[in-house]
Amino acid sequence: MKYGEHLFKREAPRPTPSNPTHPPQAANAPHATPAIVPTGSRAATPPPIPDIPPVKSEEPGGSRLIVGPNIKLKGVEIDDCDTLVVEGRVEATMNSRAIQIAEQGAFSGKVDIDVAEIRGTFSGEMTARKRLVIHGSGRVSGKIRYGKILVQEGGEITGEISALGDGPQDLLRSAS
Whether 112 is covered by a domain: the verdict is yes
Whether 42 is covered by a domain: the verdict is no
SS3 102: coil
Whether 149 is covered by a domain: the verdict is yes
pTM of the model: 0.61
Whether 98 is covered by a domain: the verdict is yes
At residue 86, φ and ψ (nearest 5 deg) are -110, 110
Whether 33 is covered by a domain: the verdict is no
What is the domain range of residue 132? 64-174
Whether 30 is covered by a domain: the verdict is no
CA 56 to chain centre: 9
Cα angle vertex 22, ends 39, 36, to 5°?
A: 25
Mean pLDDT value of segment 150-163: 95
Model confidence at 12, in pLDDT bands (50, 70, 90)? low
Closest CA to 140 of 112, 115, 164, 106: 106
Give residue-wise pLDDT tens across range 44-67.
Answer: 544 443 443 333 334 455 799 999
In the predicted structure, residue 167 carries a pLDDT above the cut 60: no
Whether 131 is covered by a domain: the verdict is yes
* Overall number of domains in the chain: 1
SS3 8: coil
Whether 9 is covered by a domain: the verdict is no
Q: How many CA atoms lie within 13 A of 2 on its CB side?
A: 5
Closest CA to 145 of 119, 158, 163, 131: 163
> In this structure, is the dihedral angle defined by the CA atoms of residues 135, 159, 108 and 92, taken in order, positive or negative?
positive
Give residue-wise pLDDT tens across range 100-143.
Answer: 999 999 999 999 999 999 999 999 999 999 999 999 999 999 99
